Structures are given as structure tokens and as C-alpha cells.
Amino acid sequence: MFHNQRPADLAGFVKNEMMNDLNLEDHLKRIEQLLVANKEILTLEEACEYTGISRSYMYKLICAGKIPHSKPMRKTIYFDKKQLNSWLLGNPKP
């Protein structure tokens, strides 16, 4: 298939394939965001993505007891999205 194509044609083909891959990645990321938006309980990673807080700062907040979370099995950390939203909006400015 590629034997009869000129280098310019091949470069265009490769560029188009790369763009398709990027579009696919964008679509997958959007689907993941929609799925997280519909969840009531979030994992640490999902909570970080949802709030925009870095993982290291989230751990600092957890250790300081400044953010509502649950650690039912003493291992995995979970967040109730309603509590997380309340915490995020805890100090509204007029």
C-alpha cells in the first residue's frame, strides 16, 4: 500500500493518522470526564481531577483533616461528591 505512494503523500497520511489519534484521545478524555461527573463517590485520583487540586496537596489536606474524605479499609481514600462540593464552596466571597 505504501510502496506506490510519494513521500509527501505518506507524510500527509501519517499526519492525518496522528490527528485521528489525538481526536480519539480527546473523545476518550471527554467520556471519562462525563462518567466522573455522574459518580457520587470519587477516588483520590478522580477527586484531584474533579477539583483541580494536585495529588500531593490533596494528601496534605487529608493529613491535616481539612477536607472531608473516607478511608473505610484503611487503604483506599474516597470522597463524597456532595461533601466535596460543599467544601469547595465553603468560603464564598460576595
Say whether pLDDT at 7 is over 80. no
Q: What is the pLDDT of residue 63?
A: 95
**Are residue 80 and residue 92 in the same domain, yes or no?**
yes
Higher pLDDT among residues 19 and 68, named by residue:
68
**Are residue 54 and residue 88 in the same domain, yes or no?**
yes
**Are residue 64 and residue 74 in the same domain, yes or no?**
yes
Say whether pLDDT at 2 is over 70. no
| pTM for the predicted model, two decimal places | 0.62
**Are residue 33 and residue 49 in the same domain, yes or no?**
no
What value does the mean pLDDT take over residues 3-9? 58
The CATH number of the domain where 74 resides is what?
Answer: 1.10.1660.10
The full 3-state SS of the chain, as one line of letters, equals CCCCCCHHHHHHHHHHHHHHHHHHHHHHHHHHHHHHHCCCEEEHHHHHHHHCCCHHHHHHHHHCCCCCCECCCCCCCEEEHHHHHHHHCCCCCC
Q: What is the pLDDT of residue 3?
A: 54
Say whether pLDDT at 19 is over 70. no
Q: What is the pLDDT of residues 40-90, one digit of tens each?
A: 999 999 999 899 999 999 999 999 999 999 999 888 999 999 999 999 998
Q: What is the pLDDT of residue 31?
A: 81
Domain of residue 49 covers: 40-94
CB 62 within 8 A of CB 69: yes
**Are residue 55 and residue 74 in the same domain, yes or no?**
yes
Structurally, the chain folds into a number of domains equal to 2
